Amino acid sequence: MALPETAQLIINHTIKLLETKPITSISIVEVTSSLQISRVTFYKYFRNIRDVLDVLVEELLLGFSQKLQKKNTHLLDFVNMNSSSAIKATLYDNALGVDKYFYANRKYIKGLLFKNSGIDFISMLQAVYYNHFHVAIENVLSMYDKKIISRYVNYMASGVTAIWQEWFINNFDLSVETITNDRLDMLAPSLMELYTRK
């Protein structure tokens, strides 16, 4: 993440505190005292304790969105949609990059998944993925009924998010490559079916 070092320290400490107490029980004084920084320094980066998590979520979702759009904007334009293996091969590098991003940020994701955070990070993640995927699919399959596209995109976004959620909850127990393959094994046949639907 591209935050200043002090802001990063505040986020890291807040995430650590979430292991044992809800966000509503964490005070600015507790964070600033532990880090030996002033309240003025805290307020330079955050409005309040809740804002620490809001900024973290915003940074994670921005990075996720950038990873999705880096190569993926017109990626589907070049895919042989009649072949599941061709779809997987074309999407693999970009999908792997997204999963590596999550793995690199696993400490923050795990912290946001604590019940104590009060944040529904998975729903937010799914919304970003759905919106990105919807635009990408509509660009390629504009000749199809928008309701059909929305149903397929909802199904695929829900499935991918469920794979990520299980991975996150299980402490990122599987390799990044395995998660990427699992996601593409779910996505490719659905994309192919949607494309070949008449």
Residue 188 lies in a domain: yes
- Domain total for the chain? 1
> Could you report the per-residue pLDDT of 7-46, keeping only the tens digit for each?
999 999 999 999 999 999 999 999 999 999 999 999 999 9
**In CATH, what number is assigned to the domain containing residue 156?**
1.10.357
Residue 27 lies in a domain: no
Query: Distance between CA atoms of 28 and 48, rounded to whole angstroms?
Result: 7
Domain that holds residue 119: 53-196
Query: Distance between CA atoms of 149 and 141, rounded to whole angstroms?
Result: 8
Residue 74 lies in a domain: yes
> Could you report the per-residue pLDDT of 65-122, keeping only the tens digit for each?
999 886 555 555 666 777 889 889 988 999 999 999 999 999 999 999 999 999 999 9
Q: What is the pLDDT of residue 58?
A: 96
